[in-house]
Structures are given as C-alpha cells and as structure tokens.
Amino acid sequence: MKKRVNKVNFISFVIGITAILMGFISISCKKSNGSSILKSDSSFTLTSMAILSDTLLEAYKCEQKVNGVENSLPVAWSNAPKTAKAFAMTMVDYPNPKDSINLNCNLVLWGIPDTTTSIAYGKMNKGPWFIGPNKDGVACSYTSPCSKGTGDKQYILKIYALTGTPSSLPTQNSLSVNYQVFRQALSTVTIIDSATLIFYSASH
C-alpha cells in the first residue's frame, strides 16, 4: 500500500512539472510576435559627438531647413555583431511622457551597409542608404530637436543590427516609410542586436 502511494505521488509530481514547463513554453511563444530578436550581452554601443552628458548641444538644435532638409546629427557605433548584414536607425520622441503609444518620428533610416560604423554631421541624406519622412511627413529628412514647450524633452535614437534589409522597403528615399511601416517591415528579418542612445534637449 505504501509503495502504491509513493508511485501515485511520483506520477502527480511529474504531471505537475510537465504542466509548468508547458506554461513557460506557451508564454515564450506569445512573446515572440513580430520581429525575431536575438538577445545578447554584447557591448554594441551608439554614440554622438553632438550629445554631452545626455544633453544635445545647442549647435545641433533647430537646424535650418534647406529645400525641406535639415542637417542631421553625427552618429557612430561600435562593437556591432559580426553577423550583421545591414543596419537601420530611428529617432523618436513622445509628446506626452505618460503616453507610450503616440509618438513623433524624427528619423527613419534603412539599408545602411554592414561596413558602416558612423554617419557624419548632415550626411544622413547623402549616403548609400535610404531615409523616410521627417516629423511633419512632407520631406525625406531628419528632424532636429526644436521643442518650444516647457522643460527638457527626451529623444530616443536607436540602431538595429539586422540579418538583412527588409525586402518590403524601397531602395530609395520614400515618404511612405513612416515609423509604423518601418516597424512592420522589421518583422520580416531578425534583429540580431540593437543599441539605444537616450538624450534630452532643453526647450527654446
């Protein structure tokens, strides 16, 4: 009788462990929607000489438009994954810090060659890559921070190391590739790693 009880307890234990493991698998599958992201502990880093102590320098704010195009801030990155075949970049800000859905997109850049490690000041419109619309959606350009509200405004600059440039994106500058279109396109490739640079710009 004692052996039978032990056997029943053992079977119950196995069933319980199996249920827990299946639950974890189910949760993992639900979290894998959209882009495939390979997590790593790499030192992939994004920097800009225009940013000092997390603050954008005055010289890079409110850039003058020339034919609808503004000079972009200089950026550089290091320790990118060796398996990356292309890079892409975005810059966004949230008008309402408490609203994590509605955002302004100041930059969408894609098709950056895997041999690239920096983009010089004012050159985001002039490289072997492609750029989407500015914040107003009227020109293919970067939009410089030029907040006229109160307090400092946060901007999020992000670079993605990809297995390739999404084939759904055009091989030319395009007003149609806004932030939402870009994010949807990313779901067709793997994001090997990403690096984020968060900075602030004082209001004018």
pLDDT at 149: 67
Q: What's the CATH fold of domain 35-202?
A: Phosphatidylethanolamine-binding Protein (3.90.280)
pLDDT at 99: 77
Spatial separation of the C-alpha atoms in residues 99 and 95, rounded to whole Å:
8
In 77-192, alpha helices (H): 179-186
pLDDT at 66: 94
C-alpha to C-alpha distances, 193 to 99, 130, 188, nearest whole angstrom: 26, 20, 15
pLDDT at 61: 96
Spatial separation of the C-alpha atoms in residues 199 and 124, rounded to whole Å:
19
pLDDT at 21: 41
Per-residue pLDDT 10s for the chain (204 aa) are 444 444 445 445 444 444 444 443 333 333 333 444 444 457 999 999 999 999 999 999 999 999 999 999 999 999 999 999 999 999 999 888 777 788 999 999 999 999 999 999 999 999 999 999 999 999 999 999 997 767 789 999 999 999 999 999 999 999 999 999 999 999 999 999 999 999 999 765
pLDDT at 101: 84
The reported pTM is 0.79
Strand partners, 77: 46
* Domain spans in the chain, listed from the N-terminal domain onward: 1-33, 35-202
Spatial separation of the C-alpha atoms in residues 158 and 57, rounded to whole Å:
19
Phi-psi region of 199 (alpha: psi -120 to 50; beta: other; left: phi over 0): beta
pLDDT at 41: 53
